[in-house]
Amino acid sequence: MTQLFGHQYDLYPFQLFSVMHLVMLLVFVTGSVLLYVYRKPLKSLEKPMKVIMFSGLFILELFYHIWLFSGKAWEISFTLPLQLCSISLLLCLILLITDSKFLFQVVYFLGIAGAIQALVTPELFVGFPHFRFFQFFITHMLIIWVALFYAFVKEFRITRKGLWQAFAFLNIAAGFAFLANKLTGGNYMFLASKPSNLSLLDYLGPYPYYILVLECIALLLFWVLYLPWRGAKK
């Protein structure tokens, strides 16, 4: 049992698009579809759903840091909340408390765009049935489900203004991440180098040009996420 929480990653190596990876992707798609299909009945369960999602995100993130500390693996160069999905997670927690329409726009665009990429090509070095495997996938699913919950169930509107607000927020966050990389020797938001395992960034050219390409792709993804709501009531 202790091996499931250990730091010997070679015991449970992660394999991209393995059976369990595909199972987690199926769980994500199924959960997303159910949020839409049952969006009206779920209105009566808004409060308990918010509590469940908040608790899930908070507890899993807390356990993740405890796990790192216990294994003497917590390092300032990679565990600060300056990765795109770490930022989205914190914003989700605040959103679930405040119902802020501004934060919703940021979570919708940043959270969905970043977490989907993470789910499809995870920067993950340990696989099923390790704790980190489940913590990683469930956390990223919840980030997207929080955004979809507010869009489908609470009927918050996605706006063009929100798209540009999210894009501006992304660039401001990237500035802080760049500074943190210089100070800590880290690679927050992959602004110092590409991830060591296979990812979409491998197809975007060499450093530092892939950062500019990534910026364009981020804006394109934001527009794709906006299109289903174009013309909807604000």
Q: Are 124 and 232 in contact (CB under 8 A)?
A: no
Q: Residue 200's pLDDT is what?
A: 72
φ, ψ for residue 98, nearest 5 deg:
-100, -20
Does residue 81 have a cis peptide bond before it, meaning omega lies within 30 degrees of 0? no
Q: Name 111's Cβ contacts closer than 8 Å, sequence gap at least 6.
A: 85, 88, 91, 92, 143, 144, 146, 147
Alpha-helical segments (H) within 83-130: 84-98, 101-106, 112-120
Q: Are 119 and 142 in contact (CB under 8 A)?
A: no
Q: Residue 1's pLDDT is what?
A: 63
Q: Residue 233's pLDDT is what?
A: 57
6: left (phi over 0), alpha (psi -120 to 50) or beta: beta
Task: Kindly tell me the burial class for residue 108, based on how many C-beta atoms sit within 10 Å of its own C-beta (0-12, 13-18, 19 or more).
Answer: buried
pLDDT in tens, the chain (234 residues): 678 898 888 889 999 999 999 999 999 999 999 999 999 999 999 999 999 999 999 999 999 999 999 999 999 999 999 999 999 999 999 999 999 999 999 999 999 999 999 999 898 989 999 999 999 999 999 999 999 999 999 999 999 999 999 999 999 999 999 999 999 999 999 899 887 766 677 788 888 889 999 999 999 999 999 999 987 654
